Structure 1
Amino acid sequence: MRGSRWVAALLVSVTVLVTPFTAMAANKTTKYRVYQNETAVSEFSDLKQAIAYAGGYKESYVEEIGSRKWVWNNYPRYKLYQYDVSLPGWEFATLEEAKAVARYYGHAAIRDMQSTSWVWNNYPRYRLYQGSITLDTWEFADLKDAIAAAKYYLGSHVIDLQTNKWVWDNISAAEKDKLRQGAGIYKVRQQGVSTDLGTFAYLEDAVTEALKWYDSVVIDTSNSGEVVYSNGRPYKVYQNDTPIAEFISVDEAIAYSQWYLHITIKLNGKEIWTNNPYYEVYQNDNKVTAFKTISEALQFSQWYTGISIRTYHGKRIWNNSCKLLYWGWNGSSAADTIKKQVQTTVGLDIDSPTWFQLADANGAMKDMSNKESIAWLKSQGYDIHPLVNNQFDSALTTQFLANPAAQQTFIKALTNRAAELGVDGLNIDFENLAGKDRAAFTTFMSSLTTAARAKGLLVSVDLPRGSVKWNHLSAFDHEKLAGIVDYVVTMAYDQHYSGSDKPGSVSGLPWAEEGVQEFLEYGIPRDKLVLGIPYYVREWKINPGTGALESNRAIYMKDIPALIAAKKAVSTWDPQFQQYKVEYEDGGYRYVFWLENEETVKARVDIANKYDLAGVAAWRLGYETTDVWNSILQLK
């Protein structure tokens, strides 16, 4: 994309009759972004609207754009588990809501996600048996409930699961004596040991003996050695992955665990409890630390890059890993040139060769693409978004936009060829449009984008750095175009262009930043907006006697150091443009330009980061050195 004359669209369009613009356009700059977990879903200029919208999603939050400060969230506080399982929907804002669901499940527990333990559980304390028979439904929190159930079963007893003791039965003393006279069918053994520790005819006696021995069981020899009682310690305590203790009851295990960090309790090999903080911070894929609350995790994370916040179960809820897209135009269709230019870059994401052109008003397309470049760019991991231009011919474009059939011809040829080549997107660079074509161009872009998306292609449009004050007069309806395409590239350069009547910077930093602000005022989403940056300067030749401009020329950034050295140029800081003003004399003339170097490029990338834009796009590749790319790599 060539250096555009940013006022050209206005100059062409003012000849067109327009409705008087009687009021300043509303500032639609978005200030708040709504997320569902780490996925951005919308942006708003009004906080109340953002919160109202976010309320329609679970696990959502509203951030201040730029600072990334959370101003609202609806993350639940309590999580319900049955054993080690928690189902979707088992997270709640209040404890009472969690309890209302938990009561329908056995072995249920509720964790306060801002704490390190359960706040409620209904793990059973008593179990009912009839002889050696028990059922899953015969577990109870209270002894009275177990006894109440036992009345329906003769010869039943209750085991206290906190102690493994036999604490109640409905067997008479006479019946017990009778059972003791029978054959010794119950044997007491320790787990993994074949030696009998005692043989008993009556089960209660066997249980009493088993309680004397660690990790013992009672087996029924009359029923194939079935285990009918266990004095085991099923709750295993681990620190990290190392077993450190085991207990009969979950309450004992939890009480013990409170004195240690990084503890988990397992039952039958499955983790049912932990005191590990719920919100974990990762840098890339490496866990760094963990916190009890999201706010603590966010506060820590602001000092680092490549961070994601995840729940204890691995769900990602926030990250700061979104990187700027680095985009470069080639300004060429030649395979050798494209390769040479791209090889100079570091961190480039999207390459944009100049491959397609509107050839005539009937919609014929000039195709300058080559598969050699596509194969090489793809092999290097770059996305390809070829530039499509209109020859910057106002009259040609007016005729074309007045002909729907011509537009369909062009769109079909362009999208078919792009799909055939396997490129990733199309970058539309139609410049010097007449103001009267404003609506027609918007319609054309809508048709083109629809056709491109049907073939899996992204669409971007290059727009001059404008102003909401006179957008209604320009050839581009910035607001409507932003609602159509995937990316809007603001050409934030040629503040002073070849036709300017006074010298100045190609793109003063305050002017470039104001351009970003005004594009955002159109309501363009930040994640659609790409900041165009110049890799060149414009040098002005001035008659020292009269102060008149004699001529000007563009100078590539890479050629500037040699020029400064050769001409012994003097640099002074210019606060107006926030750049160094470089001057020298030669042949009786004074020459001046405003410096573009690694520092100004970094400052432009900083603007993109400050406003949380999608990326930056450089006009053009080949004007710079690798050092420039190295200097901005860490700013992605």
Structure 2
Amino acid sequence: MKRNTVLVLSILALLLTSSGTALAADKTSKYRVYQDDRILVETSDYSSAENYAKQYTSTHVEEISTRKWLWNNYPRYKMYQNGISSSAWEFATLDQAIREASNWGHASIRDLRSDGWVWNNYPQYRLYQGELTLDSWEFTTLAQAKAEGAKWGNVHIIDLRDHQWIWDNIPESSKGELRAGPKVYQVYQGKSTQDSWSFAYLEDAVREAAAWGNSSVVRSDKNNQTILSNEKIYKVYQYSSLLNAFLSLDDAIAYAKSFDHTRITKNDSPKDIWTNYPYYQVFQNDKWISDSSILPDAVNYALSFSNASIRLLDDSFKVWDNFRMLQFWGWNGSSNNDTIRAHVNNTVGLDVVSPTYFTLADASGTLTDTSNKDTVAWLKAQNVRVYPLINNQFDAALTTKFLANADAQKKFIQALVSKGAQLGVEGLNIDFESVAGKDRAPYTAFVKNLTAAAHAEGLKISIDLPRGSVKWNAQTAYDHEKLGETVDYIITMTYDQHWRSGPEAGSVAGLQWVEEGVQEFLSYGIPRDKLIMGIPFYVREWQIDESGQLVDNRALLMKDLPALIKSKKATQTWDDKFGQYRVEYEQDGNKRVFWLEDEATVKARIDIAKKYDLGGVAAWRLGYDSADLWKMMIQQK
């Protein structure tokens, strides 16, 4: 909330902005476009969302209120080479995938909505010339292997599925001569062998080895160099348990298909080369809980859990989550229906809105109520949570009398909580400012009683607290530590570092001052997710005469600053002290100076909230902002 020193300007702004809004088109965002788990944009109509999403890959459109997936362009097929892939090998159609895969050897294509492969060109045959072979002598068909073999003399073909010698062009006379030579080929099964497994001719050794599992052919005259291995290199696992091993990849796949959640590894491959694990893995925090081959189905399942995410099987890349995101709160500074609707329609990603509905009217506990149930119903329909603001007229004397009267407090609390429940709001926002330091204990007790009564009716309580300082907090009315233990949210009014009646010109919220304020609030032991950091959507312009004395000041709305800077031909100079641009121009013989608020400073403030993992940020106030600002903000959530 903002101090009453700018209430006149606030009312003026409302009068200026509310006119003519009743008949304005409803621009409330209903659809959100994501690229993986990153928000790109929100729109009020579905076609705009889909058209925007189509400009990018791996995008989807969600209905904001339900997070139901309405459209996506995630790839259907993915190509691998020896189990390794990349995002460049993802395709919408099988034909596209095959065209690319045909350019590579040891390639496979997976239908991501199914299990296993739908296409592969893993070799079935290999050509040898004696003991020698080439990488290019692998073939998917026997005809291809024979065609290459016809170009060479004394070559043979091995069927890679069972390592049988199935074809050669070696003359029989040459085979006879080779068999008459020294027996240099020895067959082993593991470490075992026998005299009858010694051969002079390679074909004979290969045929003998094929009759035994996990066998090999070695050159006994070359330190037992392995010429051919029948080791079962394709291992089938279910989860982490080894089920079986095979010489043939085809046999391994056929076996693995009999089970779910299986994968096949090859001795020399760093990745699983085949799997029937569903591609989309569902986690809660870092614990695996389920999986699915259909991405929207995985999302629907994950939605039933908090802190859930969906990760890709290949690399655990996160494509969706419902992790707690930064909340965006905004005060209206008004109870007017048209004004509130205009405020909300100007935003994207707004989570909580706080219309000014309730006031402590007098010391007897009378409640002034300007609420509108139709406005609340509309806000809820936009998926915006409502926390009406309650103020004390910023009257210290009135508040002291009220806090000294237990019956008045009881009356006020009962009326307030009852009305909140009737309206169906999520919570209430306490904005009691200018409370006397002597009322610290009674104010804390009042907040505790109000919170207890609200919780009993299912309502939450947020409270606005000045940034202040730990150095003198004990002398103020606001016991941050005890209040933090009591309420559901604390909103830090991290602005008015330099205020209207202050002694010197300066920023309303220098970035270092804001960050130090956050650190101080955390030092009170307030949970990070309870803390909502205030952001000013205004600046204070200071008028300084020739002698350097302050003459006057005024509040300026953030959305009006670009036009003002242009019209006044103002100069901008970076100010390290505040982390903002200092803007100056001359008018009526006096210097006018303010510290700029723009998208960059708002982003910097949001970055502070992220840095400290706060619950969110709160804008004072809605209506001071441009629609373009929210397009930037939504991407920072």
- The equivalences for 1:325-336 within 5 A come to 325=327, 329-331=464-466, 333-335=468-470, 336=473
Q: Distance in 1 between matches of 2:199 and 2:507?
A: 98
Q: Distance in 2 between matches of 1:367 and 1:23?
A: 33
Deviation sequence 1:392-438 (CA, Å, 0-9, x none): 99x95548789979x9999989x74455xxxxx99xxxxxxxxxxxx
Equivalent residue, structure 2, for 1:352: 493
Equivalent residue, structure 1, for 2:333: none
Equivalent residue, structure 1, for 2:36: 37
CA spacing shift, 1:370–1:209, aligned 2, 3 Å: closer
Q: Which amino acid aligns with 1:74?
A: N
Q: Which amino acid aligns with 1:462?
A: W
Equivalent residue, structure 2, for 1:82: 81
CA spacing shift, 1:180–1:27, aligned 2, 3 Å: same
Contact 2:108 2:121 (8 Å CA) reproduced: yes
Q: Distance in 2 between matches of 1:330 and 1:310?
A: 40
SS of 2:88 mapped into structure 1: coil
CA spacing shift, 1:451–1:300, aligned 2, 3 Å: closer
Deviation sequence 1:6-64 (CA, Å, 0-9, x none): 99667536998x99859832221111111000111011122222111111111001111
Deviation sequence 1:345-370 (CA, Å, 0-9, x none): 57758633565133469971399969
CA spacing shift, 1:250–1:372, aligned 2, 3 Å: closer
CA spacing shift, 1:12–1:127, aligned 2, 3 Å: closer
RMSD: 4.4
Contact 1:330 1:354 (8 Å CA) reproduced: no
What is the aligned counterpart of 1:320 among 319, 322, 343? 322
Q: Tell me how far 1:279 sits from its aligned partner.
A: 1.1
- The equivalences for 1:93-108 within 5 A come to 93-108=92-107
SS of 1:365 mapped into structure 2: coil
Q: Distance in 2 between matches of 1:226 and 1:447?
A: 75
Q: Distance in 2 between matches of 1:40 and 1:242?
A: 39
What is the aligned counterpart of 1:462 among 602, 613, 620? 620
CA spacing shift, 1:245–1:274, aligned 2, 3 Å: same
CA spacing shift, 1:4–1:36, aligned 2, 3 Å: farther
Equivalent residue, structure 2, for 1:287: 288
SS of 1:356 mapped into structure 2: coil
Farther-moved stretch of structure 1 (225-234 vs 131-140): 225-234
Q: Distance in 1 between matches of 2:468 and 2:277?
A: 57
Equivalent residue, structure 1, for 2:263: 264
Q: Tell me how far 1:309 sits from its aligned partner.
A: 1.3
- The equivalences for 1:426-445 within 5 A come to none
Equivalent residue, structure 1, for 2:274: 273
1:251 and 2:253 matched: no
Deviation sequence 1:479-501 (CA, Å, 0-9, x none): x2x423x6xxxxxxxxxxxxxxx
CA spacing shift, 1:4–1:297, aligned 2, 3 Å: farther
Q: Tell me how far 1:160 sits from its aligned partner.
A: 0.5
Q: Tell me how far 1:79 sits from its aligned partner.
A: 0.7
- The equivalences for 1:41-440 within 5 A come to 41-193=40-192, 198-268=197-267, 270-313=271-314, 314-323=316-325, 325=327, 329-331=464-466, 333-335=468-470, 336=473, 337=478, 339-340=480-481, 343-344=484-485, 351-353=492-494, 356-359=497-500, 364-365=505-506, 375-377=519-521, 382=528, 385=533, 397-398=553-554, 416-419=576-579
What is the aligned counterpart of 1:483 among 624, 628, 636? 628
Deviation sequence 1:369-410 (CA, Å, 0-9, x none): 6998665445557578467688999x95548789979x9999
Q: Which amino acid aligns with 1:12?
A: L
CA spacing shift, 1:453–1:212, aligned 2, 3 Å: closer
Instruction: Provide the identity percentage.
Output: 34
Q: Distance in 1 between matches of 2:516 and 2:78?
A: 56
Q: Distance in 1 between matches of 2:598 and 2:120?
A: 59
Q: Distance in 1 between matches of 2:217 and 2:310?
A: 49
Q: Distance in 2 between matches of 1:181 and 1:41?
A: 76
Q: Distance in 1 between matches of 2:19 and 2:321?
A: 46
Q: Distance in 2 between matches of 1:392 and 1:308?
A: 46
CA spacing shift, 1:293–1:450, aligned 2, 3 Å: closer
Q: Distance in 1 between matches of 2:150 and 2:275?
A: 38
Equivalent residue, structure 2, for 1:497: none
Higher relative contact order (Cα pairs below 8 Å, separated by 6+ residues): 1
SS of 1:89 mapped into structure 2: helix
Q: Which amino acid aligns with 1:364?
A: A
Which blocks of at least 5 consecutive residues in structure 1 are unaligned?
420-424, 427-440, 465-475, 487-522, 529-613, 615-636
Q: Tell me how far 1:129 sits from its aligned partner.
A: 0.4
Equivalent residue, structure 1, for 2:400: none
Contact 2:466 2:494 (8 Å CA) reproduced: yes
CA spacing shift, 1:254–1:4, aligned 2, 3 Å: farther
Q: Distance in 2 between matches of 1:357 and 1:330?
A: 17
Q: Tell me how far 1:152 sits from its aligned partner.
A: 2.2
CA spacing shift, 1:28–1:524, aligned 2, 3 Å: farther
Q: Tell me how far 1:172 sits from its aligned partner.
A: 1.3
Contact 2:57 2:73 (8 Å CA) reproduced: yes
SS of 2:283 mapped into structure 1: strand
SS of 1:129 mapped into structure 2: strand
Contact 1:2 1:331 (8 Å CA) reproduced: no
SS of 1:144 mapped into structure 2: helix
Q: Distance in 2 between matches of 1:106 and 1:310?
A: 28
Contact 2:78 2:112 (8 Å CA) reproduced: yes
Which blocks of at least 5 consecutive residues in structure 2 are unaligned?
330-461, 543-550, 582-591, 610-616
Deviation sequence 1:153-210 (CA, Å, 0-9, x none): 2111000111110000001111111111111111111234466661111001111111
Equivalent residue, structure 1, for 2:380: none
Q: Which amino acid aligns with 2:620?
A: D
SS of 2:24 mapped into structure 1: coil
SS of 2:51 mapped into structure 1: helix
Q: Distance in 2 between matches of 1:53 and 1:234?
A: 48
Aligned residues: 456
Q: Distance in 2 between matches of 1:9 and 1:316?
A: 46
Q: Distance in 2 between matches of 1:215 and 1:14?
A: 84
CA spacing shift, 1:417–1:329, aligned 2, 3 Å: farther
Q: Tell me how far 1:91 sits from its aligned partner.
A: 0.8
Q: Distance in 2 between matches of 1:408 and 1:341?
A: 49
Contact 2:515 2:608 (8 Å CA) reproduced: no
Q: Tell me how far 1:297 sits from its aligned partner.
A: 1.0
CA spacing shift, 1:87–1:371, aligned 2, 3 Å: closer
Q: Tell me how far 1:323 sits from its aligned partner.
A: 3.8
CA spacing shift, 1:448–1:343, aligned 2, 3 Å: same
Contact 2:107 2:122 (8 Å CA) reproduced: yes
Farther-moved stretch of structure 1 (346-355 vs 275-284): 346-355
Deviation sequence 1:254-280 (CA, Å, 0-9, x none): 111111122111111541011111111
SS of 1:115 mapped into structure 2: coil
Contact 2:463 2:487 (8 Å CA) reproduced: no
Q: Distance in 1 between matches of 2:14 and 2:323?
A: 44
Contact 2:40 2:635 (8 Å CA) reproduced: no
Q: Tell me how far 1:226 sits from its aligned partner.
A: 1.9
- The equivalences for 1:476-555 within 5 A come to 476=623, 478=625, 480=626, 482-484=627-629
Q: Distance in 1 between matches of 2:80 and 2:507?
A: 64
Contact 2:310 2:321 (8 Å CA) reproduced: yes
CA spacing shift, 1:525–1:376, aligned 2, 3 Å: closer
